[in-house]
Structure 1
Amino acid sequence: MNIKYIDLIHQSYYFPQEEFTLDGESLQFHGIPLLELVEQYGSPLKFTYLPKISDNINRANKWFEAAIKKNDYKGKYHYCYCTKSSHFEPVLNEALNNDIHIETSSAFDINIVQKLKKTGKIKDDTFVICNGFKRDQYITNIGRLINEGHQNCIPIIDNYEEIDLLSDEIKGDFKVGIRIASEEEPKFEFYTSRLGIGYKNIVPFYEDQIKNNDRVELKMLHFFINTGIRDNAYYWNELVKCLKVYVRLKKICPSLDSLNIGGGFPIKNSLAFEYDYEYMINEIVNQINITCQEAEVPVPHIFTEFGSFTVGESGGAIYEVLYQKQQNDREKWNMIDSSFITTLPDTWAISKRFIMLPINRWEDEYERVLLGGLTCDSDDYYNSEQNMNAIYLPKYRREKPLYIGFFNTGAYQESIGGYGGLQHCLIPHPKHILIDRDEKGNLVTTLFSEQQKAEDLLKILGYERD
């Protein structure tokens, strides 16, 4: 009888996989011996495997390069990283080791851009695409960046006032894009995105505020789908509507030469994950090509804004199962040494799934369990609702510690969870480890931040002052 955890995995999935392998009965992630990581740094801990960031950037660049060649596409491709996915300096440094550009979403993003310009990570020809609803500080910071000579800073117009606000702040001429307010999927509580300007209003807006404005040059049409780039009728329908707007606008606006197909690629959230990235990219390039040829207008340069795809698969979190509570005859709760609400807030807020696997004891018998966090909040759990299938783990044994890992958690979790600040029920933020490779390919680990201490939280709360 197959009763070992490893037997269950082999029955359910193709295993090992590119990033997941075993060393004996211990899990490795991209060749990282995770149990050794726990033995060195303790639990709970978070880690970022920096080489995976460059790996995904290079994958996307190769896919677009192949699609452009296959479709004899005359425009160029530009990869942008959405800084809101992870603002951390080591993450930006790794991403900018590649030929990429930056997308910002708020005022303080520009301060990060200027810091990176001083270190030479962002060059004068790097595109800085400024999205978001822009008020005073954001407008001021964008104006400062452009006034200092960064001509490839392109504010994306989100509402009817922004042209005037930018004109007051910027000394000379400047370039802009316009964001389309896409229609949301039928399951949404509203019909149209609050961001951008409606399809029917794009051309009138251009004619009213930009066409005869000698200081403003329209360069980009920005198209964003909240649910990301997916092979379904909704996405293709919205893309066709976007391309119709682009064609109409291009015919009356010669300076328009770029299309930003914002909205990211999905990342792996299960060992059974399947997504044909190459097909989707080729079909997008093909659709743009065909539409422009039929309309007899030049094809645009293509920009993408990948956040989760860039950094999501670089991250992970490791916990220890502290105790098991048998709450009734059917439910066993494995209690972890941290909180899902604070360290993986997307599991709580939007029922997001991550790959979850044990770090050790793969040769042990398995059991069905629920996972609970340390807070006294009834929503601090991770179970089959998020995981799609029931959760099975090696059987709890008090005398044999069990560690579990959540993988591909590198996007948004720190910023949404309030990194370095207060945590729900004052559960401390865990240690964070950076993992890289040296020139010979050897693993190099660095402690990025210690686990929060009581003093850190008391200071925030005003109980301790400098």
Structure 2
Amino acid sequence: MKTKYIDLIEQTFDFPQKEFKLDDNNKLQFHGIDLTNLIAEYGTPLKFTYLPKISENINNAKNWFADAIEKNNYNGKYHYCYCTKSSHFKHVLNEALKNDIHIETSSAFDIDIVENLKAQGKITDDTFVISNGFKRDQYVKNIGKLINNGHKNCIPIIDNYEEINLLSQEIKGNYNIGIRIASEEEPKFEFYTSRLGIGYKNIVPFYNRDIKDNPKVTLKMLHFFINTGIRDTAYYWNELSKCLKVYVNLKKVCPSLDSLNIGGGFPIKNSLAFDYDYAYMIDEIILQIKQTCDEAGVAVPNIFTEFGSYTVGESGGAIYEVLYQKLQNDREKWNMINSSFITTMPDTWAINKRFVMLPINGWQKEYERVLLGGLTCDSDDYYNSEQHMNAIYLPKYSKEKPLYIGFFNTGAYQETIGGFGGLQHCLIPQPKHILIDRDEAGEIVTRVFAPQQTSENLLSILGYDYGINNALALKEEEKIGCNETIKST
């Protein structure tokens, strides 16, 4: 009878897989990284970023688009942009920019990052900076400053009717813009149309009214994105079709329009059963664009994408130790980890997002059905592997042998949503974060990016260090006053 954890995995999934396999001691490896050694050196809880995966995913996408463009005889260029809000960290941007890509921004401080990268020579004036988001005050000023200083490839994407006037007040010369389409959401959404962008039927009238005769502004790009991402569904293809109709109608009255931005939305692996044909989707998108433009008699656009989660998501991971097992009734076993899901992987409770979860050790043990709980006193601090399941399977817990578990492909959004370097729920400290890379010989190299948060870090944010210092200063003042009184006496 096959009752070991390894038996369960091999019977349920195609295993081993490209990034997941067991070593000779039946310990889990991730992209050839010895996770057991990682635990021995750095302890747990532990966050890590495997930098080479970022470049790998970027180049995979660029190759898929190149193949589709060649296959379909598509007379347009492809530009890969990184959506910085997925992870603003310097080590992520440095790795991504090794691959001749461009940047998408979403807020005022994003432009400060762009300026910093330019000062370091990581990007140049030739790098496209696609500025999305609702723009007011500082964001508009920063975009204006960037363009005024010579970055003509900064393209603000117009989100509402007022932004052209606001930008024109800050930008000294002529500048290029794009327009974002307010796509219609899936029926399950609480709202019908995205709050971002301008409605399908209003874009051509908007161009004719506010842009066509404006000598300062040139429309270059139409921007399209839907929340559900790029998926092989009737909903996606229907929305893309409506977008392309807008593009050809706009192109007929706006000769300067030469680019279509299809946004982001490539999914990332969230289980060992993940199955998504990236090459097929890209080929079909290119084909649909070409056919629509050819039928309308207009030139095909250059294609831009803004991949965020796809770029950085699969580079990240987290490792925890199961501290204790609580039997709450006759069937519910709670494996308590030495950290918090709410603080370290907020998407698990905020949007019920799934990640790949596997034990690091214990693969030869019998398995059991368990629930995973975090350290906070919040009832939502747990992990649920399936939307309609309340339990997951792990090797049997024993007090004598520590059980370590890993969550993989957590590299997008979790640090920024969780408030990296800030307060954490119930003051659970933020884990140590390490960076993993490979040297020229292909050997693994690691370094600490950030140590685990300390009590002093959190108390300082809460103002307690100020209170302590202020109290000490008052005592010192009282002491000086007392001495002066003695002297005068």
Which bin holds the TM-score, normalised by the shorter protein? over 0.9
SS at match of 1:133: coil
Number of the residue aligned with 1:437: 438
Indicate the residue corresponding to 1:91 in structure 2: 92
C-alpha displacement of 1:385: 4.0
Q: Measure the CA separation in 2 of the matches of 1:462 and 1:437.
A: 41
**C-alpha offsets along residues 13-60 of structure 1, whole Å, 9 cap, x if unaligned?**
111000001012100000000011011000000000000000000000
1:10 maps to: 10
Does structure 1 conserve the Cα–Cα contact (< 8 Å) formed by 2:232 and 2:281?
Answer: yes
Identity %: 79
Q: How does 1:62-461 map to 2 (within 5 A)?
A: 62-386=63-387, 390-461=391-462
Query: How far did 1:80 drift?
Result: 0.4
Equivalents in 2 of 1:20, 1:54: separation in Å?
Answer: 19
Residues in 1 aligned to 2:352 and 2:132: alpha-carbon distance in whole angstroms: 27
SS at match of 2:321: strand
Q: Aligned partner of 2:8: which letter?
A: L
Contact residue 81 and residue 102 of structure 2 kept, 8 A: yes
Separation in 2 of the partners of 1:414 and 1:323? 26
CA 1:83–1:287: 2 relative to 1, 3 Å? same
2:51 touches 2:436 (CA, 8 Å); kept in 1? Answer: yes
For the 8 Å contact 1:353–1:387, the answer to whether it is kept is: no
Task: State the 1:383 CA deviation.
Answer: 2.3
Conservation of the 8 A alpha-carbon contact between 2:371 and 2:390 = no
Relative distance call for 1:256 and 1:82 in structure 2 (3 A) is: same
Question: What amino acid is the match of 2:463?
Answer: G
Name the SS for the 2:464 alignment partner: coil
Q: 1:384 to 1:52 in 2, by over 3 A?
A: closer
Helix, strand or coil: the match of 1:434? strand
The answer for unaligned runs of 5 or more in structure 2 is 470-489
Question: Displacement, 1:70?
Answer: 0.4
Q: Which amino acid aligns with 2:271?
A: S
Q: How many Å apart are 1:99 and its aligned residue?
A: 1.2
TM value normalised by structure 1:
0.99
Q: 1:84-116: per-residue Cα shift (whole Å, max 9, x none)?
A: 000000000000000110000000000000000
Quick one: distance in 1 between partners of 2:344 and 2:6? 27
CA distance in 1 between counterparts of 2:73 and 2:146 reads 36
- Note the C-alpha offset of 1:390: 4.0
Runs of 4+, deviation exceeding 6 Å: none
Paired residues, number: 466
In the TM superposition, residue 194 of structure 1 has moved relative to its aligned partner by 0.2
Q: Secondary structure, in 3 states, of the residue corresponding to 1:360?
A: coil
CA displacement 1:212-264 (0-9 Å, x = unmatched): 00000000000011110000010000000000000000000000000000132
Counterparts of 1:388 and 1:25, CA distance in 2: 28
Q: Which residue of 1 aligns with 2:485?
A: none
TM-score (norm 2): 0.94
Which residue type is aligned with residue 366 of structure 2?
E
Match of 2:480 in 1: none
Greater shift after overlay, 316-325 or 383-392? Answer: 383-392
Q: CA deviation at 1:348?
A: 0.6
Counterpart contact for 1:433–1:448, Cα < 8 Å? yes
1:21 matched residue in structure 2: 21
Cα displacement string for residues 347-367 of structure 1 (whole angstroms, at most 9, x for unaligned residues): 010000000000011111111
Offset at 1:72?
0.1
Separation (CA, whole Å) in 2 of partners of 1:37 and 1:21:
16
Structure 2: how far apart are the matches of 1:464 and 1:79?
46
Task: Tell me the equivalent position of 1:48.
Answer: 49
Encode CA deviations 1:134-183: one digit per residue, 9 max, x unaligned: 00000000000000000000000000000000000000000000000000
Give the whole-Å Cα distance in 1 for the aligned partners of 2:202 and 2:115. 34
Q: Highest CA radius of gyration, 1 or 2?
A: 2
Deviations along 1:350-399, one digit per CA (max 9) or x if unpaired, are 00000000001111111100000000000000124448584111101001
Give structure 1 stretches of 5+ with no counterpart. none
Q: CA deviation at 1:124?
A: 1.2
What is the CA deviation profile of residues 392-444 of structure 1, one whole-angstrom value per residue up to 9, with x for unaligned ones? 11101001000000000000000000000000000000000000000000000
- The whole-number CA distance in structure 2 between the counterparts of 1:53 and 1:26 is 25
Give the residue type in structure 1 aligned to 2:338.
D
Matching residue's letter, 2:384: N
**Measured at CA, do residues 271 and 385 of structure 1 come closer, stay the same or move farther in structure 2, by a change above 3 Å?**
closer
Q: Against the structure 1 CA distance between its residues 104 and 119, is the aligned structure 2 distance closer, same or farther, given a 3 Å change threshold?
A: same
Cα deviation for residue 305 of structure 1 reads 0.6
Q: Which amino acid aligns with 1:323?
A: Y
Q: Are the aligned partners of 1:347 and 1:386 in contact in 2 as well (CA < 8 Å)?
A: no
Separation of aligned partners in 2, 1:118 and 1:74: 34
Cα-Cα RMSD: 0.9
The equivalent of 2:39 in structure 1 is 38
Separation of aligned partners in 2, 1:115 and 1:104: 14
